Each structure stands twice: as C-alpha cells, then as structure tokens.
Amino acid sequence: MNLDDALNYLKENPSDTIPVAGGTDLLPRIRSKKMPARKLLDLSGIMDLRYVKEEQGVIKIGALTTIADLEKQRDSSASTKLLRQVAERFGSPNIRSVATVGGNVCAASSSEDLIPAFLVLNANVKIIRKDGTRELPFRDFLISKRKNALNGDEILAEVSFTEPRAGTACSFQKLGMRNILIIALVSVATLLEVDLADRRISSVRIALNRLRGKIPERTEGVEKWLLGQDLDQKTVEKATHVLGEELRLTSDFRASAEYRCEAAKVLLRRALTQCREDLLGK
C-alpha cells in the first residue's frame, strides 16, 4: 500500500480507523482494552514517509522515521545531538527498531520522550489528508493527554523545524527507576544560545515531560526569566527556583510531587550547566 492508498482509505473511513506504524504504544493498549480494537491502517510500509533531510536550513523528518534511524544520525548539529540523546535511552533497542517519530508524537503523552525535544526545537507538524495538507505548530498539535489535533481522515506526515544556529547547545536529561525500558519520571529537553560577546543568554527553550498537566510543555516562566541573563552558576541556580514556582506536579505511586519537583530542578540545573560548559568551556 502506498501513501495515496492510505489517504484514500482514510477519506472513506474517517471515523473508525486507527493508523498504525510501529505499534509499540498502540498494540498493548488495544490488547489491554485501554482502547477499542477498530480498523487498523498499516502505514509501516510507506517508505515515502521515512526520511531525515535538510532543505534550506529546515530539517524535515518523515513520520515513519524510526527512533533507531534518529540514533544513527551522525552529524554534529544541535538538533541531531538532541534527538540522538533522546533516541539512545528510548525504550529498548528492540523497540527503537520499529517505533516511529509519528507514533511517538501522536501518542501525546508525557511518556513520549520525543515530544519535549520537538517542543524546544519549535517544530511544526505537517498533516495530510486526501484532499490537502495543513501545518500546525507542534504545541497546537498536542491538545491533552492522548488527544492530538488529527481528524479522522488525516495522518501526521512530517515533523520539521529550523535547524538551530551553529553554536546552539542542547541537552536531554531523563530520570527513571532503572537504566532502560522506563517511563521517564522526569525528563528535560533544553536548547540554549549565548551571545559570545557578553555571555548573555540570547535564546532558550526548555520543555519538561510534565509541567502543570499530563502532557509535555515548554517552561515559559523559566525561559522568560533566563533570556538576557548571564549564563553563570547563580543564574542556573535561580532558574531552578523559577522552575520550582512554575511546576504543578502530582504524586502517584511511582513518586511524590515533591520528589518530582526536586528532580526536575536538578535535571534543569544539569541541563543548563551542560549547555554552559559546551558553549563557554568549564
């Protein structure tokens, strides 16, 4: 089946079809009855949607690009490094081989590690259907936990973003209960630029797997505060306090809200420190 066939099918059957690619999130949910078994549309063979390319400074990643594909990217741009950091600790090697960028993004939950990364990359998503295309900013694509902006006859085709400028530092920090095959308790994605002349932060984007709700979000309060600050230890420390104020986390049996807040602050500190070292040396 090719992309046209898939889109035709969706046009005919918009209300009871679920597109599936890697199935790593979907199949267990169907089996455990967390979602009803409806018609599945297998997209996994559509090679047209599996690519990572650069067009005039814009990086475009096809929705069927696997996490393993991201892990293998070798160039040293900030976005490649960031996505590789996410990929290296994603699921397990078995899962990376089949899990896709599209699947991860569409799942729209805090356990999807690529989402914080795409949020800080200020990504856009390209959504296609039989009769047209539309683009959305990434943050508008995520509506709430497990709810995205796709209509029944649409599929996510591509995630794209402007490649961060040379000299952008990046960091992905993740905390879980063991070293692999985990749902992140806390994860933080960071992109940061510094004006090398006065060492002030000229651009910063930070996203956490959870901030106030149940899906990943950008930390606007922290970003606003950091912009223009000197990237020194005092700033890093103060940023964690600002984050503490912005956080509205909840407790569950895995960890208390208090611990998650502590951990988020530590991960932010480490992310900013890592960026500082990358940009300004130790």
Partner 1 sequence: MTETALIQRLREAEGLVVVGKRIQRLDALGKVLGVPLYSSDIVPKDALRLKVVRSTVPHALIRRIDTDQAKGVPGVLAVLTAKDIPGINEAYALLPDRPLLAGTKVRSQGEAIAVVAAVDSETAEEAAGVVSVEYERLPAVFSPLEAMKSDAVRVHETGNVAKYLKVRKGNVEEGFRQAHVIIENTYKTQFQDPTALEPEVGMAWLERDGSITCVGSMQTPFYVQAGVAKVLGISTDKVRVIQATTGGAFGPKSDEMPIDTCAISALVAYRTGKPAILAYTREESIIAHTKRHPFVITLKTGAKNDGRLTASDALVVSDTGAYASLGPLVIIRACFHTTGPYVIPHVKTDAYCMYTNNTMAGSFRGFGSPQVHFAAESQMDELAKKLDMDPLDLRLKNILRSGLLTATSQLVDEACGLEECTKRAVDASNWHAKRLDLARDRGSFRRGIGIALMYHGNSLGPEGNDYAAVHIVVRPDAKVVVRTALTEYGTGAISGLAQIAAEALGLPIDVFELGRADTASCQETGPTVASRVIVIGGRATQIAAQKLKEKILAVGGDILGCDPSKLTIQNAVVRHSDDPEWTVSFQRIVEECFKRGISLTETGFYAAPKCEFDHENSQGTTYLQYTYGAVVAEVEVDMELGVVKPLKITAAYDVGKAINPLSLEGQIEGATIQGLGYGLMEQVTHTDGIVANPTLGDYYIPTSLDIPELQTIIVEFPGAVGPFGAKAMGEPPIDLPAAAIANAVAHATGSRVFSIPLTAEKVLFAMKERQR
Partner 2 sequence: MTRLAKHLVRLNVNGRDHALIIESNERLLDVLRDRLNLKGVKEGCGTGDCGTCSVIIDGRLVNSCLVLAVQARGKRIVTVEGIGTRENLHPVQKAFMKYNAAQCGFCTPAMVLAGKNLLDHNSTPSRDEIREAISGVLCRCTGYYKLIDAIQDAAEKLREDKL
What is the binding site for partner 2 (CB under 8 A)?
A: 20, 22-24, 27-28, 30-32, 37, 39-40, 42, 44-45, 68, 91-95, 97-98, 180-181
Minimum Å gap between C-beta 44 and partner 2 is 5
Could you tell me how far CA 233 lies from the centroid of its own chain? 27
Which of 30, 149, 262, 279: binder of partner 1 (CB under 8 A)? 262
Q: Is there binding between residue 266 and partner 1 (CB under 8 A)?
A: yes
Assign residue 56 a region (left: φ > 0; alpha: ψ between -120 and 50; beta: otherwise): left
Which of 77, 163, 259, 261: binder of partner 1 (CB under 8 A)? 259
Nearer to partner 2, 43 or 142 (CB): 43
Q: Is there binding between residue 178 and partner 1 (CB under 8 A)?
A: yes
Which of 35, 58, 181, 227: binder of partner 1 (CB under 8 A)? 181
Q: Report the 10 Å Cβ neighbour count for 272.
A: 27
Would you call 149 helix, strand, or coil by DSSP? coil
Q: Which tokens sit at 201?
A: 């932060």
Minimum Å gap between C-beta 51 and partner 2 is 18
Buried/exposed 146-185: b ≥16 CB within 10 Å, e otherwise? bebbbeebbbbbbbbbebbeeebbbbbbbbeeeeeebebb
Q: Is there binding between residue 76 and partner 1 (CB under 8 A)?
A: no
Q: Is there binding between residue 179 and partner 1 (CB under 8 A)?
A: yes
Q: Report the 10 Å Cβ neighbour count for 63.
A: 27
Residues 6+ apart with CB under 8 A from 18: 26, 35, 38, 39, 40, 41
Would you tell me which residues interact with partner 1 (CB under 8 A)? 28, 32-33, 92, 175, 177-183, 253-256, 258-259, 262-263, 266-267, 269
